[in-house]
A and B are shown apart, each in its own frame.
Chain A
Amino acid sequence: MIKRKVSMKQAKDALKLIRRSPYQALAAALAMSLTFFVSSIFILLIIGGQIVLNYIEQRPQVIAFFKDDTNESRILEISKEVESSGLTKEVKYVSKEEALAIYKERNKDEPLLLESVTADFLPASIDISVNRAQDIDEITKLVKDKPEVERIITPENLIEQLVKWTRTIRIGGIAFVSTLTGVSFLIIIMVVGMRIALRRDEISIMSLVGATRWYIARPFFIEGALYGLIGASIAVFLTFSLLLFYSPNIQEFLGPIQIFPVPPLFFLYLWLGEVAAAIVIGVLGAAIALYRYLKIR
């Protein structure tokens, strides 16, 4: 009885190709893993940066203190003017009495500081939250010009720095990940190219017995896609594990800004997105290798 050894499934052929030279396969999968691990880290940094930025943006970013002789109706007039700029999320009037209440609340544990402080000592103010951190400058300018305004407090430097950092991480991330993607791409081309060379005899026989170009090429495409799938999966698993391990430290560093727990769906989407991108890279790499090296007469 003849053993049935005919494997029709070309996926099996692709796995066979991988098994025949595991070191090349390992190199290709690891290059993919590295690329997508670094991509994951940059994605997390960008998202984390955005969360921090959003948190800070939600706090009042511009506080304008008024001179003592400014009456309430004038302050409300200025508030409305600021609101009508369309750049603000919220403009809140804080009267002298409210300012005193806040002062008392903040210093409730230090009675010495509360002694002899009355509402007259504290200035009325408006707390302004802007829609976008970039608009702080414009709002500051708008309030500064008012003769009734005595002093303005803005955390503009912090926001500016954060915006700058987020932008740098984004640009740096794109540049770094693009370079790594290029390297992965070249490794896939090289590995698939070597496989084509190793199978030259088989390819020529297949062609002579009537195999179509697509039939011959298919296992190489599957191989490229497999490198993508394996590489991206390792990368996401590694990212997930690291984030899980370091989450207490990260949360401690961020203080009141809550980013944990990261929803599991986020990792599912990250995995799906990265696997899709990695498969595209693997298949495109294989396609270029096939175009370059697969010579069928």
Chain B
Amino acid sequence: MIQFESVTKKYPSGHLALDNISLKIESGEFVFIVGSSGAGKSTLLKLITREISPTTGRILINSEDIFKIPKSKIPILRRRIGTVFQDFKLLLTRTVFENVAMPLEVLSKNSSEIEKAVSGTLEKVGMLDKANNFPLQLAGGEIQRTSIARAIIAKPEVLLADEPTGDLDPKNSQGVVELLEKINKEDKTTVIMATHNAQIVNHFKKRVVTLESGKIVNDQKEGKYETG
């Protein structure tokens, strides 16, 4: 379970990204965090991975305040969380296989374990036949699938997706979110997806948390994103 308790985040520039928000996400949930650009969606995700720290408030994962974890233990926290980015963040000089293998290399797994896990994960995301391609040889949807494969290969408890469909066409966007839904259902992974794609949100009928100027203005099960 992920819990935000009265969290405020003000950047050194003075920009108030999150304003006293409280939020509870149960294990195994699929949640859309929606809102226009600058509403605080990415800030919320970055707080979960401890890329940034809150100005005030606490963030708990399974009742543990993640900002009380010593700095040396941050890698262990991050191994429990998979992240998918809008700009994919794949290494262009590595193949699909090598990119996906990275989280396991970091865990010093041996080659045969890595090979087995990467093959299984690439099969799951439908990218097994492209394992030896480089990212520049892939289409947008394929790149994002690779990025998802990398995020889930170490079997994280939580999968964060920051605008994963931002650079994709509607068909590929739908495919990517279907894949996230599959991961959520099959692996019981908690999925938190930040997006401003109303069409996608409204199609999947999941819990929707709406942010506006850093405040939660709506939190609905099987909700909708009203862009009005």
Contact = CB atoms under 8 A, between A and B. Distances in A.
Interface of A: 2-6, 8, 201-202, 204-213, 215, 297
B115 to A, nearest CB: 6
Main secondary structure of the interface of B (DSSP, over half): helix
Interface string B186-228: 0000000000000000000000000000000000000000000
B150 A8 contact: no
B111 A4 contact: yes
Given A205-B89, A209-B78, A2 B51 contact: no
A241 to B, nearest CB: 39
Given A210-B154, A297-B51, 10 more contacts: A2-B118, A2-B131, A6-B98, A6-B111, A6-B115, A8-B105, A209-B103, A210-B76, A213-B75, A297-B50
Given A3-B132, A202-B91, A208 B111 contact: no
Contacts of A215: 106
A247 B111 CA distance: 53
Contacts of B108: 8
Contacts of A210: 75-79, 103, 106-107, 154
Nearest to B51: A297
Contacts of A208: 49, 51, 78, 83, 89
Contacts of A6: 97-98, 101, 105, 111, 114-115, 118
Interface string B110-151: 110011001100000000100110000000000000000010
Contacts of A8: 105, 108, 110-111
B43 to A, nearest CB: 14
Contacts of B50: 297
B155 to A, nearest CB: 12
Nearest to A297: B51
Interface in B24-72: 49-52, 72
B161 to A, nearest CB: 13
A54 B86 CA distance: 75
A205 B76 CA distance: 15
B102 interface: yes
B95 interface: yes
A209 B101 contact: no
Given A2-B97, A3-B132, A6-B101, A209 B150 contact: yes
Contacts of B131: 2
7 contacts: A5-B97, A6-B98, A201-B91, A208-B49, A210-B76, A210-B103, A297-B50
B103 A4 contact: no
B159 to A, nearest CB: 13
B115 A2 contact: yes
A202 to B, nearest CB: 6
A200 to B, nearest CB: 11
B51 to A, nearest CB: 5
A206 B102 contact: yes
A297 B75 contact: no
Contacts of A4: 111, 115
B147 to A, nearest CB: 10
Instruction: Please list the 10 inter-chain residue pairs (A to B) with the smallest Cβ-Cβ separation, ordered nearest first.
Output: A210-B79, A209-B103, A210-B78, A211-B106, A210-B75, A2-B131, A212-B75, A6-B101, A297-B51, A6-B114
B132 A2 contact: yes
Contacts of A5: 95, 97-98, 132
B37 to A, nearest CB: 22
A206 B128 CA distance: 23
Contacts of B102: 205-206, 209
Q: Which among B95, B98, B115, B154 has the highest number of chain A CB atoms within 10 Å?
A: B115
A209 B89 CA distance: 11
Nearest to A206: B106
A210 B76 CA distance: 6
Contacts of A201: 89, 91
